[in-house]
């Protein structure tokens, strides 16, 4: 079953809260393109092995879970496009009164993970990681003094590393000749470019990234890219070079601000546009938006909501209430992350807001 990110992460949180009395919780990861008949055969073998479990209740629960998974897989003709993950086990809190539940999830991206595990907990980390990846962009801001590396995942900007150069200013000190000083400076610039390239390779080469964006206040960023030190696989992923003012962590944020053309379809840009539209409506006092739980509930009830904005900053119960209320009404429902400045703005408005179809009658 393919789930949206919100539903999937809700399910993962639920599964993380389940604890078995014994190793009675079964997790099965099936890779994309893998033969389901082989999985069924493997599970039937495990069912035979499970008859050796000494504890009677544990033995019965494991066998029942394996039977339930096999029966469920018989209803599925082929492995879903991205593979699948199955969780099944006894979730009852009463000894001797089992409640065997099963969940199936199709990962958001193609999975190459094959795993079978009986444990006291479900193995959710690999699935959770697939949802947190999204479209990641590598970030590099630099001049001849320093370079800062970061990663953009969804709406989250993560600084990764900061390095400083040994390149002196343009003018020599003391009695050093201008020609000798220039040669030494050029050598230190090359050394710095090599260090930047090696650092980028170490941070990004084996990471699944959609592109690289480079920024800086002067020509160093362009000269670095033309230097040939950046490995071809990474150079081919450079999506743009932007002129910005800063080369520290604040430069990473500025780089994102200046890269709207590159990131037009990315989560951080979508969230920013929605929150800015909300703030503009509030500023104009045009009654085409509301914020706060009570006001939003009222507009949902009146079928007057066009887009529902739910911040991850609010508690899970409220988040679920508004999300599923929006889904029931067929509304465009957007989850706003808590890592961005836009998420903070929504938090300051109560964590939930709505863009309306027609002016509110407040």
Predicted confidence band of residue 172 (pLDDT cuts 50, 70, 90): low
343 and 246 together in one domain: no
Tokens of 312: 């991850």
Which helix (H) or strand (E) segment holds residue 9: the answer is helix 5-16
Say if 195 falls within a structural domain: yes
The answer on pLDDT for 201 being more than 70 is yes
Q: How many domains is the chain built from?
A: 3
| pLDDT at position 109 | 83
Give yes or no for a contact between 306 and 332, defined as CB atoms under 8 angstroms apart.
yes
Tokens of 27: 């997790």
- The DSSP code for 169 is -
Report d(CA 1, CA 84) in Å as an integer: 8
Provide mean pLDDT across the span 278-289.
96
| pLDDT at position 74 | 94
Say if 361 falls within a structural domain: no
| pLDDT at position 15 | 95
Say if 152 falls within a structural domain: yes
Domain interval for residue 239: 134-257
Report d(CA 81, CA 243) in Å as an integer: 41
Q: Which of 136, 140, 135, 134 is nearest to 235 (CA)?
A: 140
Of the candidates 223, 257, 291, which is a domain's last residue?
Answer: 257
The CATH number covering residue 177 comes to: 3.30.420.60
Q: Which of 336, 351, 154, 163 is nearest to 247 (CA)?
A: 163
Predicted confidence band of residue 52 (pLDDT cuts 50, 70, 90): very high
103 and 147 together in one domain: no
10 and 127 together in one domain: yes
| pLDDT at position 337 | 83
66 and 124 together in one domain: yes
Provide mean pLDDT across the span 81-108.
92
114 and 43 together in one domain: yes
Q: Which of 262, 209, 266 is nearest to 235 (CA)?
A: 209
Say if 21 falls within a structural domain: yes
Provide mean pLDDT across the span 182-202.
96
| pLDDT at position 132 | 62
pLDDT tens digit sequence for 127-169: 987 876 557 899 999 999 999 999 998 888 999 999 999 998 8
Q: Which of 107, 30, 135 is nearest to 76 (CA)?
A: 30
Say if 362 falls within a structural domain: no
Give yes or no for a contact between 150 and 186, defined as CB atoms under 8 angstroms apart.
no
Of the candidates 132, 148, 178, which is a domain's last residue?
Answer: 132
Of the candidates 74, 101, 132, which is a domain's last residue?
Answer: 132
Provide mean pLDDT across the span 44-68.
95
290 and 306 together in one domain: yes
| pLDDT at position 4 | 76
Tokens of 248: 């520290």
Contacts 24+ apart (CB under 8 A), 165-171: 165/189, 165/192, 165/195, 166/191, 166/192, 167/192
- The DSSP code for 292 is S
| pLDDT at position 258 | 95
Supply the pTM of this predicted model.
0.70
Mean residue pLDDT of the chain comes to 92
The answer on pLDDT for 174 being more than 70 is no
Predicted confidence band of residue 67 (pLDDT cuts 50, 70, 90): very high
């Amino acid at each position: 079953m393919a789930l949206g990110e919100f539903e999937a992460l809700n399910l993962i949180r639920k599964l993380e809260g389940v604890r078995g009395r014994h190793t009675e919780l079964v997790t099965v990861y099936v890779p994309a393109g893998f033969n389901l008949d082989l999985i069924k055969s493997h599970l039937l073998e495990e069912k035979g092995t499970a008859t050796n479990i000494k504890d009677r209740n544990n033995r019965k629960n494991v066998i029942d879970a394996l039977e339930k998974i096999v029966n469920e897989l018989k209803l599925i003709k082929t492995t879903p496009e991205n593979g699948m993950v199955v969780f099944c086990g006894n979730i009852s809190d009463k000894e001797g009164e089992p409640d065997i539940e099963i969940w199936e999830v199709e990962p958001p991206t193609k999975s190459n993970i094959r795993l079978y595990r009986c444990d006291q907990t479900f193995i959710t980390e690999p699935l959770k990681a697939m949802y947190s990846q999204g479209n990641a962009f590598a970030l590099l801001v630099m001049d001849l003094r320093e370079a800062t590396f970061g990663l953009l995942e969804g709406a989250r900007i993560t600084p990764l590393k900061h390095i400083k150069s040994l390149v002196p200013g343009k003018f020599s000190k003391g009695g050093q000749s201008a020609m000798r000083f220039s040669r030494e400076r050029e050598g230190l610039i090359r050394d710095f470019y090599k260090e930047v390239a090696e650092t980028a390779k170490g941070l990004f080469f084996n990471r699944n990234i959609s592109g690289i964006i480079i920024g800086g206040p002067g020509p160093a960023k362009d000269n670095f890219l033309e230097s040939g030190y950046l490995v071809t696989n990474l150079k081919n992923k450079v999506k743009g070079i932007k002129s910005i003012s800063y080369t520290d962590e604040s430069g990473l944020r500025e780089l994102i601000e200046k890269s709207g053309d590159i990131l037009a379809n990315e989560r951080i840009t979508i969230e920013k546009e929605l929150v800015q539209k909300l703030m503009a409506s509030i500023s104009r006092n045009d009654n085409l938006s509301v914020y706060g739980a009570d006001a939003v509930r009222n507009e949902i009830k009146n079928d007057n909501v066009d887009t529902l904005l739910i911040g991850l900053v609010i508690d899970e119960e409220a988040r679920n209430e508004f999300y599923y209320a929006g889904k029931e009404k067929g509304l465009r429902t957007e989850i706003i992350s808590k890592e961005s400045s836009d998420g903070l703005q929504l938090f300051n408005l109560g964590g939930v807001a709505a863009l309306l179809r027609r002016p509110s009658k407040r």
